[in-house]
Amino acid sequence: MSIRKPSWFSSDTIMVSTAPTCGLTKGGRLLPIVNPATGKRVQEIDPETGAAVDAIDDKLKEDAIALSKGQQTDTLSFIPAADIDLRCAVPVYYDHRYRDQFNEAMKLPQFEGFEAASIGALISRGTLTVRGGHGSPSQDERIGDVPYIKVSDLRAGLVNINPTNRIPLSVAKKFWGGPESGLKAFDLLCPERTSKNIGDFCILLPGQERVVTTKEVIVLRPGPRANFDPFYLLWALSLKVVRDQWRRIIFMQTNREDVGKRYLEILLPVPPTGKRANEVSQPFRTYYQTLAAARSSLSDYLNQDKQHHFFVSGAEELVAADSGFDE
């Protein structure tokens, strides 16, 4: 028996729906639409009974109906078959909206002279350097003085050291592969796995370099050929049109999320000069340098006073972080 070929079928393209909902919750119950302004469920009339019932959030059904009518939606697209990799058959990966939004933003006056380049391309040029975390010491080894940084410690733009979660220096050196951690002041750290804050970068403040980071983080810093400093890099990575791109590359696994090497595809604006980079990112530079100086001052007081039980690990010494890019 032959199967009728639908009108939208094409041998050259593949229909992909990136609808975020299908009418059901994770527990298998109907997913109601909630009005964000009132916090109440949206009601609609059941055509069969005439009674008011909860409206169901089913974007996948909306895509299917639009497809049957030859219409388009924001989450319905046709991707060239040559661009589909069956080893990466996750619909959201082929969602072009976030890249389109970035490209449109790059046309704005504030980005005049800027170049768009992926993280991977910038690493290849020597403009960025990247490394992973050190590793994950076992629970019984967490009895020393060197802070161990977990994914949950990367919050709100800062590396929050837990004074109760530290390991011996001898163990830390094994994870470092030598006497030092390889980290630098103002490195950018980001969760790579297991957390909803993937794509949110945090700054390592001066004095926090001697830590052991869990292996499930990404560490970025400007490379030898960069015309920008870490504060510009954080400014660029924090732009909404950059941050939204992470939605496309984060895949849910059985009990955790990950980005693999797909984060190398994230597009960033590259400044035309160091001077321009410093101009746009000055508020970030001022905030973090002021914060670093305040931590250092408080640490000096606590080290001299010796009367307070107050943990300010890593604020022992302020390290100057002027970019030096004036052209």
Q: Answer yes or no: is 325 within a domain.
A: no
* Statement to judge: residues 236 and 154 lie in one domain: yes
* Statement to judge: residues 119 and 242 lie in one domain: yes
Q: Tokens representing 57?
A: 């959030």
* Statement to judge: residues 150 and 289 lie in one domain: yes
Position 127 scores a pLDDT of: 97
* Statement to judge: residues 153 and 281 lie in one domain: yes
Q: How confident is the model at residue 319 (pLDDT cuts 50, 70, 90)?
A: very low
Q: Answer yes or no: is 132 within a domain.
A: yes
Q: Tokens representing 102?
A: 């970035």
**Is 251 within 8 Å of 257 (Cβ atoms)?**
yes
* Statement to judge: residues 223 and 277 lie in one domain: yes
Instruction: Say whether 270 sits in a helix, a strand or coil.
Output: strand
- The amino acid occupying position 211 is V
pLDDT tens column, 48-79: 888 888 999 999 999 999 988 888 888 888 88
Q: Give yes or no for residue 310 having a pLDDT over 90.
A: no
* Total count of domains within the chain: 2
- Going by the DSSP 8-state scheme, the letter that residue 56 receives in this structure is B
* Statement to judge: residues 35 and 141 lie in one domain: no
Position 106 scores a pLDDT of: 97
Q: Output b/e per residue, 80-118; b: 16+ Cβ within 10 A.
A: eeeeeeeeeeeebbbbeebbeebeebbeeeebeebeebe
* Statement to judge: residues 193 and 68 lie in one domain: no
> Distance between CA atoms of 255 and 24, rounded to whole angstroms?
19
Between residues 283 and 3, the one the model is more confident about: 283
Q: Tokens representing 94?
A: 């082929």
Which of 24, 55, 90 is the endpoint of a domain?
90
* Statement to judge: residues 105 and 32 lie in one domain: no
Position 325 scores a pLDDT of: 55
Position 326 scores a pLDDT of: 53
CATH of the domain at 142: 3.90.220.20
Q: Tokens representing 288?
A: 């973090």
* Statement to judge: residues 79 and 179 lie in one domain: no
- Counting Cβ atoms within 10 Å, is residue 75 exposed (0-12), middle (13-18) or buried (19+)? buried
pLDDT tens column, 276-308: 999 999 999 999 999 999 888 887 787 777 776
**Is 134 within 8 Å of 175 (Cβ atoms)?**
yes
Q: What's the domain range around 33?
A: 13-90
Position 316 scores a pLDDT of: 37
Q: Answer yes or no: is 314 within a domain.
A: no
Q: Tokens representing 16?
A: 């992909």
pLDDT tens column, 156-170: 899 988 888 889 999
Position 207 scores a pLDDT of: 86
pLDDT tens column, 9-61: 888 888 889 898 999 988 889 999 999 999 999 999 988 888 888 999 999 99
> What is the chain's mean pLDDT, rounded?
88
Position 320 scores a pLDDT of: 40
> Distance between CA atoms of 281 and 232, rounded to whole angstroms?
5
Q: How confident is the model at residue 193 (pLDDT cuts 50, 70, 90)?
A: confident
* Statement to judge: residues 149 and 195 lie in one domain: yes
- Work out whether the CA dihedral 251, 253, 259, 262 comes out positive or negative: negative
Angle subtended at Cα 280 by Cα 275 and Cα 282, rounded to the nearest 5 degrees: 90
**Is 114 within 8 Å of 38 (Cβ atoms)?**
no
Q: Answer yes or no: is 140 within a domain.
A: yes
Position 254 scores a pLDDT of: 64
Q: Answer yes or no: is 316 within a domain.
A: no
Angle subtended at Cα 39 by Cα 34 and Cα 42, rounded to the nearest 5 degrees: 35
Stretch (H or E) spanning 246: helix 246-249
| Among 289, 92, 309, residue whose Cα is nearest residue 206 | 289
* Statement to judge: residues 156 and 78 lie in one domain: no
* Statement to judge: residues 69 and 177 lie in one domain: no
**Is 50 within 8 Å of 12 (Cβ atoms)?**
no
pLDDT tens column, 221-280: 999 999 999 999 999 999 999 999 999 998 877 667 888 899 999 999 999 999 999 999
